[in-house]
């Protein structure tokens, strides 16, 4: 996908586009000091990172959304989502240099009233339910569900870009986890998928001879 096409597909106001441009400039500058994203991907930053993050919004509730992004790194997808739809966003990042970048970026973009940065490991964040959980390149799906379960309530939506490994990762957790799971195609990579889940819970040990009652997986 061409970069001009990626920018156009965002369909945002001029003010929001300027804020995204500012974020891209900050990302590129910081990437010279620490490896936030691969250098080659910066040549396609709008398709590989901005639009790839923005597409997750279509799976989230439209109102009253309190969002947590685990292992936020450079702020992908959390920072982009916050700029586009003004959701209340909590970014969790335990690497000090990356957390510092997130704090400085929140200040530079004027998002202090909307975005909270927690510079710690996800396992140390106090338990409470969020409306949406996201994570991009944070951990394998099984580990991610285990660490994120403390932030999930009955109506929480998990939106997890898993790239080309999505199908195999989802298959690997079928015996351990129950819920409503779907594989949604990515708009930025025809071979990549997003795991969208709700009502996520640990599977009960199967009784001998019992029928498999796990929820199905839609693709």
> In the CATH scheme, what architecture does the domain 3-204+213-218 have?
3-Layer(aba) Sandwich (3.40)
> How many angstroms from the chain centroid is the CA of residue 182?
16
Asked whether 62 and 125 are in contact (CB, 8 A), the reply is no
CA gap 201, 199 in Å, rounded: 6
Give CA 110 to chain center in angstroms.
21
The pTM score is: 0.91
**Coil vs helix vs strand at 156:** strand
> What is the tens place of the pLDDT at every residue in 107-125?
999 999 999 999 999 999 9
Query: Quick check: helix, strand or coil at residue 171?
Result: helix
What is the residue extent of each domain of the chain?
3-204+213-218
- For residue range 109-166, list pLDDT tens digits in order: 999 999 999 999 999 999 999 999 999 989 999 999 999 999 999 899 999 999 999 9
pLDDT digit string, tens, across residues 42-91: 989 999 999 999 999 999 998 878 999 999 999 999 999 999 988 899 99
Q: CA nearest 106: which of 72, 137, 134, 56? A: 72
d(CA 165, CA 18): 34
- Pick from 81, 75, 61, 77: nearest CA to 198: 61
Give, as one character, the DSSP assignment of residue 180: E
Q: Does residue 212 surpass a pLDDT of 50?
A: no
Closest CA to 98 of 123, 117, 78, 111: 117
């Amino acid at each position: 996908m061409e970069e001009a096409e990626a920018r156009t597909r965002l369909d945002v106001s001029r003010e929001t586009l300027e804020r995204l441009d500012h974020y891209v400039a900050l990302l590129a500058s910081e990437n010279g000091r620490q490896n936030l994203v691969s250098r080659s991907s910066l040549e396609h930053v709008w398709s590989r990172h901005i639009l790839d993050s923005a597409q997750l919004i279509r799976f989230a509730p439209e109102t009253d959304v309190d969002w947590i992004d685990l292992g936020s790194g450079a702020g992908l997808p959390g920072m982009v989502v916050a700029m586009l739809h003004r959701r209340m966003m909590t970014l969790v990042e335990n690497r000090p240099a990356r957390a510092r970048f997130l704090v400085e970026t929140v200040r530079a973009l004027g998002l202090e009233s909307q975005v909270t940065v927690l510079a710690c490991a996800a396992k140390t964040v106090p338990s409470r339910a969020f409306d949406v959980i996201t994570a991009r390149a944070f951990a394998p799906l099984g580990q991610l569900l285990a660490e994120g379960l403390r932030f999930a309530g009955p109506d929480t939506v998990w939106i997890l870009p898993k790239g080309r490994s999505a199908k195999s990762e989802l298959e690997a957790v079928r015996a351990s986890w129950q819920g409503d799971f779907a594989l949604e195609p990515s708009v930025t990579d025809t071979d990549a998928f997003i795991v969208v889940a709700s009502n996520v819970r640990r599977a009960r040990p199967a009784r001998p001879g019992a029928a498999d009652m796990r929820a199905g997986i839609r693709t």
